[in-house]
Structure 1
Amino acid sequence: MAVPKRKTSRSNTRSRRANWKAAPTALTTCPRCSAPRQPHVACPNCGTYNGRHYAEAERTEHRA
């Protein structure tokens, strides 16, 4: 098994870790209500995906 002969410097460690960035979440618009939603996920606003309605996907926090 390979073992490093020297300690990795801070600049090498930090430059290697600089590439680990979080990618922004991709958003598309819902074809039914034009609300932003994630692709391949049911719309949280109207609850539709691929022409079907899913009641479990709708937001319930603003409902009375």
Structure 2
Amino acid sequence: MAVPKRKISKARRNSRKANWKLTAPNLVECSKCGELMMSHRACKSCGTYNKREVVKVED
């Protein structure tokens, strides 16, 4: 069984876990309605993707 030769300090151990952070999603404008949406996904407000209607959206 592998055993560590030296004790890892709390600061060194916790600094490895300090880089787990969330990033905000990149938003782009819809080419048809101008709403902000996530890229490479259908627009939630008008239902278009790549200037074509993919999903029917009811008001």
Q: TM-score range by the shorter chain?
A: 0.7 to 0.9
Moved over 4 A (4+): none
CA distance in 2, matches of 1:3, 1:45: 57
**CA RMSD across the alignment:** 2.0
Report how many aligned residue pairs link the two structures. Answer: 59
Q: Output the TM-score relative to the length of structure 1.
A: 0.73
Q: Output the TM-score relative to the length of structure 2.
A: 0.78
Deviation at 1:7, TM superposition (A): 3.3
CA distance in 2, matches of 1:24, 1:50: 23
Unaligned runs of 5+ in 1: none
CA distance in 2, matches of 1:10, 1:43: 46
Name whichever structure is richer in strand by fraction. Answer: 2
Unaligned runs of 5+ in 2: none
Deviation at 1:5, TM superposition (A): 2.1
1:6 matches 2:6:
yes
The one-character-per-residue Cα deviations of 1:16-46 (angstroms, maximum 9, x if unpaired) are 1111211111100101111010000000110
Q: Which residue of 2 aligns with 1:30?
A: 30
Q: Which residue of 2 aligns with 1:50?
A: 50
